[in-house]
Amino acid sequence: MAELVVSNLVKSFQNGARAVDDVSLDLPSGKWLTLLGPSGCGKSTTLNCIAGLETPESGTIRLGDRTLFDTARGGIPPEARDVGMVFQSYALWPHLTVARNIAFPLELRGIPARERKGRIADVANIVELGSMLERYPHELSGGQQQRVALARALVYEPKILLLDEPLSNLDAKLRERARAWLSALQRRLAVTTVYVTHDQTEALTMSDEIAVMSEGRIAQRGTPREIYGAPATPFVADFIGTSNFLNGTVLSRDRGSGTVRVADAEFRFVLPDGVGVGDDVLIAARPASLRVAARDDSSTIHGRILQRTYMGFRYEYLAEIAGAEVRIDGAEEIPDGVDTISVSLTPEECSLFRRDGHESKRAAR
């Protein structure tokens, strides 16, 4: 297994826009890094650049002591990179049996037939496919196909395993099981893994580290806990867990914290560097940290109810607070005819960002 270092990777679309814009990553040997982001954020392109399936314009990619790509010398072709890859569609070759699919990379590496047999049996056991070897891909279920694809990518002990949304074609129940299974397998084999997904749950539950990507750039890099607990940008906050965004203004600042006014209420927040008195700020609040207030006091925000939905065991209100639309859960029903709502906020559970044009757009959503 080897360490992966990607520096200043740039790759453009045909129309000139940047698909990957100055991306740098480093991943210690044996660890699991997840590239997380919405579709079109550049995560798959980055993965393909590492695999050699796409050629970046500039940057370097190193794997262990080998340089896979650099701007001056170009890249070595995918077949020479010694990477294992699992595709979203699994990409099993329909004309070959499971055994022949798994044998293919070994044949290319000139492994003698006897040894091949042993290694195929080993890897088939690891992915729990021992009895399926003579079947053809179309005779397998989705989960089985996914495991064949994994076996095929692992059988030649690649230096790195690249997984491109491998669970997205499974149904919800199977996906949950596969998550746990895949995660455990990776820990056991300690293979350096880059995992691409748009599913935050997969990212949070399986990764050693997550890189959240947006518009070709890395928005934030950290452990699942860091990413969830302390999103670096409103985008990350929005993408990881549903967040409500409230508009506020800094009234005073005292060292690391200060008073922020949100609508008609005031709260004490920890303020990041660079946020000063008079600045407009954006407060990202997890759904759980915004509640219908039991009673009015000075720390209650008042808003106007736009829509109310009965959810069975609770109510969900869509309200307008200081120019932003937010969703608020409440256990009690607010009677019809009352069109104002009182909301309480837990500042410790919120993240606060300085507001600029770009972010206000997102907040107004």
Partner 1 sequence: MTDTDAGNASQAHRDVTRTRLATPLTQYGIVLLTVVLVVSPLLPILYQSFIAQPLYRDDLDFTLSNYARLFVSRAFYDILWVTFLFSAGIAVVSTAMGALMAVLTVRTDMPGRGWIGTIFTIPIYTSSLVLAFAWITVYGPGGYLTATWANVLGLPAWDLYGLWGMILIGSTAYAAIPYFYCTSALTMADPSHEQAAQICGAGRMRTLWRITLPLLRPALSYSLLINFVAGIETLSIPLILGEPRGVRTFSTFLYTEIGKTEPQYGLVACASMLVLVFMALLIMLQRRVLGDARRFVTVQGKAQAPKRLRLGPLRWPLATLCWIWVTVLVVLPLAGLLARSAVQVLTPYISPLTVLTWDNYVQIFEVDTYARSIWNSLLIAGVGGFFAACLSLGIVLVAERSDNPLRRPLRFLSLFPQAVPGVIVGVGLLWAFVLVPGLDIFRSTVIGLMIAFTMRYIPLAVGAIAPSLGAIGPELDRAARTSGATWIGTVRRILVPLVAPGFLGAYILLFLSFLREYTSAVFLYVPGTEVIGTTLLSLWVQGKSGPVAALAVIQIVLVTAVVLISRRLLGVKMYG
Query: Which whole-number Å values give the CA distances from 282 to 23, 235, 260, 352, 359, in the listed order?
Result: 27, 11, 10, 6, 8
- Report the SS3 class of residue 336: coil
Q: What is the DSSP letter of 91?
A: -
d(CA 52, CA 7): 15
State the minimum distance, in angstroms, from the CB of residue 188 to partner 1. Answer: 9
Shortest Å distance, C-beta 45 to partner 1: 13
How far is 77 from 68, CA to CA, in rounded Å?
A: 8
List the Cα angle 52/160/65 in 5-degree steps.
Answer: 80
Q: How far is the CB of 297 from partner 1 (least distance, A)?
A: 59
Least Cβ distance, residue 145 to partner 1 (angstroms): 12
Q: Which residues contact partner 1 by CB under 8 A?
A: 1, 51-53, 55, 77-85, 87-89, 91-95, 104-105, 108-111, 149, 152-154, 156-157, 159, 162, 189-191
Nearer to partner 1, 92 or 328 (CB): 92
The minimum distance between CB 203 and partner 1, in angstroms, equals 22
DSSP three-state, residue 225: helix
**Residue 191 or 292: which CB sits closer to partner 1?**
191
Alpha-carbon span 98 to 294, nearest angstrom: 61
The smaller minimum CB distance to partner 1, of residues 34 and 44, is found at: 44
Residue positions counted in the chain: 365
Sheet of strand 209-214, all strands in order from the earlier edge strand to the far edge: 83-86, 160-164, 193-197, 32-36, 209-214, 217-222
In the complex with partner 1, the residue whose CB is nearer, 19 or 282, is 19
Q: What is the closest distance, in whole angstroms, from the C-beta atom of residue 205 to partner 1 in the complex?
A: 23
Q: Which is nearer to partner 1, 92 or 324 (CB)?
A: 92
Of 105 and 234, the one with the shorter C-beta distance to partner 1 is: 105
Q: Say how many C-beta atoms besides its own lie within 10 A of residue 49's C-beta.
A: 25
